[in-house]
Chains A and B, each alone.
Chain A
């Protein structure tokens, strides 16, 4: 299907998209004029305007078949009210309840016509867009067609699949990061090109370096201290809140930090650690750091702290270890231990410093610089994303794994409708009216 969904500024149509042009159109949109226009004209315009947003990828005939004039709505019930009255009060007198003085019954209206396009929200591509997994409904459609989406664990290649209540759909996290992340600048694109060209050379160099004998062990302790200091300095720059540091500078530091971490890791006994996953590298690094701290522990205890305090901290450490072993989270256990050991030692690394280092490491692991990715790294949300960010209640989304459950069909309730639409009732009511009349 050819994509006619452009965000032209001359027409100013609103689309299901996070584009900045769309934001501009959304901002300047005014409800179409009704003065001196026939009802047919009003309905036609309203229909044209709302269909440009709701399912423009769906053919008109297809949508007309989907349209249903019955609109789902719910009414939140108050259990205390229900318990108080069996309904006879409401039907007393002449059938509409006895008038109570000074307490008129107020109920907000249910915006039924805002739900005119509710059947389209069942579509898989629209649901992916609503769950914030794609930056436009068109992109969501592409993800489905390219096989990046599963429904209930099975690959689903039909964007027009109508989700049933309870269906779990999942998009590949890499695609989601690409769709919602900031795009690469031309410098980053060049770097990824260079990375590709250099990769072979680097591999050769690394194998050579590994073949070389290790440096003498006598000054290892000294050098470990220096590396730790250097690591700290870089970590601080990375995590500093100073606004004057340019992004490029920050990135350089981050890269330097990465290299330093590799250097530390290359000193470890296991030779496979460099090629291991980030996770294992990370735990190895923390273990090594912990070791340096443990060495100093008894010295400090002799100097300033009494033995009982250390024992108490050790006990708590043991207790925490026990509870976390059950949880089976090895990584956080290593952290917890490291952090608790830190309370005793204050000479070399302060708690704060250790924390900064820890956070820099976490960031490096969770959100690394990786030029092989199709989006700008470290990942950050694309511009203007926050303006479009909302998740309707009929979806339950887990962003960590980019999966969502379609809980139920969207409903209207007093004062609000669950179908996200940028148009007010002055547009949606005539549009609903257009489809109520059968013209085919």
Chain B
């Protein structure tokens, strides 16, 4: 998936036909060129002044709309690498951003068509967190536009001309996937190398490897026989997150490391692939199975969210005095060893405690906020 450069400029205010986008682009280009004062050609180099060379920075002064203009490697000027801003660092790539049209499309699909984040993420190849952020930002943009707050439109246009942009696929075109959506976070407990002897006759799967890494005893044979593939666990965990085993005691307690099939953001795609392998050339059957599974998982998730919300609401008592401006939320303090410490006077315990000075005056205490409620 090579990042594509946006060749058309979008303007949110004016839905222009396609050829006009290009026209504006050309015009903007010429506008920018006007401000270029070409450097006198350097003798002895025989290059035109616009060409980048180790002694000539004129080429970097202004951007060319639709192209990146990053520093070229002085030792290898012919290297046609347009995505690396730092010539010394081969590991950093300037990755594409969502075009304005694509952002609006995400918003339309999530808010107006009421599709789930998960579905939109798979359709457009955008990370779920990014989709949530895009919806938030587009909503904020619309609100600010309706309030008549100032916007930085020329700036936004210029930035989108300078950096790689993932365009919105046009009608009948295959969508360009923006980023890999099934990233598996590397778990810290997998950092160590473990020598674990296993008989060759025994099949050692990802489920077993996870148990070894988290120091859990091997799974019983009866249970293991029920798991035909590690992705079977994904369904189970999705329905009941409490089903994950725990090992260790006290502060050392940890959940058993689950196989990659469970920990990736879109476990349902593995199951879809398995369906495809089980039912080759039966697209309808596969699609039905997938739709059923998605429905089941969404329902389970919804139920879980509702239950959590209910529990939260149960613990908080709302008091609204008549004619008052405030809504008091009263929550019972829980006095256990964990919440108030052994002697009941731990610094994180609720309320003021006699004989315990407040922490904010002690030296070296950081007083800047650690989080801001949204």
Contact = CB atoms under 8 A, between A and B. Distances in A.
A380 B29 CA distance: 11
A422 B33 CA distance: 29
Contact of A243 (B33, B57, B94, B200): B33
Contacts of A41: none
A331 interface: yes
B160 interface: yes
Interface string A72-106: 11111111101110111001010100000000000
Interface string A400-419: 11111101100101011111
Interface in B332-374: 368-374
A417 B92 contact: yes
A27 B74 CA distance: 7
A386 B60 contact: yes
B144 interface: yes
A: interface residue count bin: 35 or more
28 contacts: A26-B86, A27-B54, A74-B183, A75-B186, A76-B182, A76-B184, A77-B184, A79-B182, A86-B203, A114-B89, A151-B372, A152-B374, A156-B369, A168-B140, A243-B30, A279-B148, A359-B27, A362-B14, A366-B153, A367-B154, A379-B154, A383-B61, A387-B60, A390-B85, A403-B140, A403-B141, A423-B88, A424-B89
Interface string A243-261: 1011100100000000000
Given A23-B71, A29-B88, A401-B151, 8 more contacts: A26-B86, A72-B185, A87-B205, A241-B26, A247-B34, A380-B154, A381-B155, A398-B140
Contact of A180 (B91, B140, B155): B155
Interface stretch (A171-179, A216-224, A304-312): A171-179
A74 B34 contact: no
A420 interface: yes
Contacts, number: 295
Contacts of B70: 386-387, 390
Interface string A2-39: 00000000000000000010011011110100000000
B259 A70 contact: no
Contacts of A381: 62-63, 155, 158, 162
B372 A73 contact: no
Given A77-B260, A362-B14, A385 B162 contact: yes
Contacts of B369: 156, 158, 161
B169 interface: no
B15 interface: yes
Interface in B141-197: 141, 144, 148-156, 158-160, 162-163, 179-180, 182-186, 188
Contact of A83 (B32, B141, B150, B231): B231
A358 to B, nearest CB: 8
A366 to B, nearest CB: 5
A396 interface: yes
A213 B31 CA distance: 41
Interface of B: 11-15, 20, 23-24, 26-27, 30-35, 54, 57, 60-64, 68-71, 74, 85-95, 97-98, 100, 103, 127, 129-130, 133-134, 136-138, 140-141, 144, 148-156, 158-160, 162-163, 179-180, 182-186, 188, 198, 200, 203-209, 229-231, 259-261, 264, 266, 269-274, 276-277, 368-374
B71 to A, nearest CB: 6
Contacts of A111: 91
A396 B130 contact: yes
Contact of B204 (A88, A180, A427): A88
A174 B271 CA distance: 50
Contacts of B272: 79
B152 A156 contact: no
Contacts of B31: 380
A291 interface: no
B68 to A, nearest CB: 7
A356 B63 CA distance: 24
Contacts of B88: 29, 31, 422-424, 427
A86 B137 contact: no
